[in-house]
Amino acid sequence: MASTVNSPSTPITLPKISSIQTPFLPKTSQLSIFKKKKPFNFVSKKVVSCKASNEQSSSPNRRDVLLGLGGLYGATNLVSDPFALAAPVAAPDLSLCEKSTVTSKSAGTIKVACCPPKSTNIIDFKPPKFSKIRYRPAAHIVDSEYLDKFKEAMEKMKALPEDDPRNFMQQANVHCAYCNGGYDNGDQNQELQIHFSWLFYPFHRWYLYFYERILGKMIDDPNFAMPFWNWDSPRGMVIPEMYVDPNSPLYDEKRNENHQPPKMLDLDYAGTEEELSKRDLIKSNLSVMYRQMVSNKTASLFHGQPYRTGDKPSPGMGAIENNPHTAVHRWVGDKKQPYSEDMGNFYSAGRDPLFYAHHSNVDRMWNIWKSLPGKKPGKKRTDFADTDWLDSSFLFYDENANLNRVKVRDALDTRNLGYDYQRVDIPWLKNKPTPRRPGKGRGQGHGRGQAVAAETKAASVIRNAFPIVLDKVVRIEVPRPKKSRTKHEKEDEEEVLVLQNIQVDRDIAVKFDVYINDEDDETPTEPEDSEFAGSFTNIPHNHHKPGVKLDTNLTLPLSDLLEDLDVEGDDNIEVTLVPKEGKGLVSIGNIKIDYIQD
């Protein structure tokens, strides 16, 4: 029986890989070298706003203004610590919400009204009182009684008046406004963007919490719990049956028609259909889950990079947001729609009821992640302790149509909010990627493209070549500042690969993979290989200023990977970048190795 989880307080013990026998597991650059820094030092610590820009604002932001005041702050607090002034992202002013811009190269530009009803009466959220914990069930195993209640709740939500903030479209527009340029982040030149940063997890937890409370209100059942799409387990790797009935309020016609059941989900999806057997696809999916959940041990690797008031948006995604979160969105969205609606674009994702089941499972991953062993023996993983994260706030309407101001600090434990998740198997804990054996192919029935392998083989190793445009496979030699680190040093700091200033048009879908010391040129590297370090992905979205590119970073863990490949003593590593979607549309400003601790 695979390990299970029911709450973040339940520790999980990882199995020893050498003892596992499962049908899903095989038997067995130019670089700027920095001195040791404080954690998260590769992200500037300015001030927060909700609109991204590559331009430097000429107007002072909140931090600049406060720093200019001098007096008490200048004389005391800021002398010993120049970043002592708190700058958590503040809940937006709904009266200043703007229409969201949606663009694509083929369909042009439209303006979408996503702003919620305005209210001057804001309630500061108080943890709820409840008599028992609500358990969110796995969508593929609910019974008929539950399904009837769920459909009734959805029907009533959709029947609410259009201007009721609890109405289904109003709730869908919450995601549009927060994720597609509706709000500023403390500065009119910076937009608020809750993706690509440490706000991703807490924002979506709060979003689903109030959505669930509204559903319960619709059927007078305060204990109603919404389902989760259990896509991290083979039995749940298809769209749940409850969502595919055209006569159900859970149905959405704007989904990829080629991905209806029994088509199995691809958690490494890159916009094209791959010819993989069911067994190989399951193994690939479980390996993706192991890497993203187990290997990313620190808060910044899991949640994403710090983002404060006045900062440019999108400093860098966390592991699960990057993948499989993005892959599921892209796989479900309808590529025939002008903007890949519904799930394939931030502005429209909330219009598909399946979105909430998807994000419920994403939220479940946060619980599981905190149950896994930490970097140090006997220690579990922990969230950020930074008050700029803990005190970041959002606004949501509750089940009584009251506007609530909520903070990140109140969303750290689902049980304090009155809910948890049904126990289900977690098979990916047994699917640790394994090193490839150079020169040995996998046979004819496996692989995602011999053309990629051929292009990788032809690529020569380069140095001093930044910025890089990913119009082909690129190999870069990257020096390592530290090597042959002791066990204590590895427990204290995670060695990471940082791809800086990744630039791409926001309104296009892209994916590129990152391999480390990939010496087998005859067959393509897959997620189940240790050499596969991770991927970068993007869901189409927009900035309130036309033409402003996404400018972000990607941070990937290396400590376990280098140990698995037995190259911890090497002076350099060879990084291979493989464009899978959006070839020639992505540039990278620099690649370096750093060391982080949370």
541 is catalytic: no
CA distance 34 to 36: 6
Q: Is the dihedral of CA 458, 463, 465, 470 positive or negative?
A: positive
346 is catalytic: yes
Q: Which residue among the candidates 140, 195, 446, 544 is catalytic per the annotation?
A: 195
Q: Which residue among the candidates 346, 394, 466, 536 is catalytic per the annotation?
A: 346
Q: Which residue among the candidates 303, 325, 446, 544 is catalytic per the annotation?
A: 325
Q: Which residue among the candidates 140, 259, 329, 543 is catalytic per the annotation?
A: 329
Q: Is the dihedral of CA 476, 480, 486, 491 positive or negative?
A: negative
CA distance 442 to 453: 13
In the chain, the amino acid numbered 12 is I
Using alpha carbons, list the distances in angstroms from residue 225 to 141, 221, 245, 304, 356: 14, 9, 21, 28, 12
- What residues pair up with 404 in beta bridges, in sequence order? 123, 396
In the chain, the amino acid numbered 157 is M
Please give the full DSSP string across 401-430, using - where no structure is assigned: S-EEEEEGGGGS-GGGGTEEE---B-GGGG
- Classify burial at 85, counting beta carbons within 10 Å of its beta carbon; exposed 0-12, middle 13-18, buried 19 or more: middle
396 is catalytic: no
Q: Which residue among the candidates 140, 168, 175, 466 is catalytic per the annotation?
A: 175
Please name which of 434, 448, 450, 435 lies closest in space to residue 521, comparing C-alpha atoms: 450
325 is in an annotated binding site: yes
Do you know the residue count of the chain?
598
Six-digit token string for 33: 């070298």
CA distance 340 to 323: 18
Q: Which residue among the candidates 359, 541, 543, 544 is catalytic per the annotation?
A: 359
- What residues pair up with 515 in beta bridges, in sequence order? 532, 576
259 is catalytic: no
In the chain, the amino acid numbered 367 is N
Q: Give the residue ranges of DSSP H helices in 188-332.
A: 200-218, 278-290, 299-303, 319-320, 326-332
325 is catalytic: yes
358 is catalytic: no
**159 φ/ψ angles, rounded to the nearest 5 degrees:** -90, -5
Long-range contacts of 71-75 (CB under 8 A, 24+ apart): none
Residue with the two structure tokens 């339940």: 10
Contacts of 54 (CB under 8 A, 6+ apart): 312, 503, 548, 549, 551
329 is catalytic: yes
Would you give the DSSP letter of residue 577?
E
358 is in an annotated binding site: no
In the chain, the amino acid numbered 472 is K
Q: Which residue among the candidates 204, 259, 303, 358 is catalytic per the annotation?
A: 204
446 is in an annotated binding site: no
Beta strands in 417-509 (DSSP E): 419-421, 461-462, 468-469, 474-479, 494-504
488 is in an annotated binding site: no
How far is residue 480 CA from its own chain's centroid? 27
Six-digit token string for 498: 């940082």
Residue ranges of the annotated binding site for Cu cation are 175, 195, 204, 325, 329, 359
The set of catalytic residues is: 175, 195, 204, 325, 329, 346, 359
Residue ranges of the annotated binding site are 175, 195, 204, 325, 329, 359
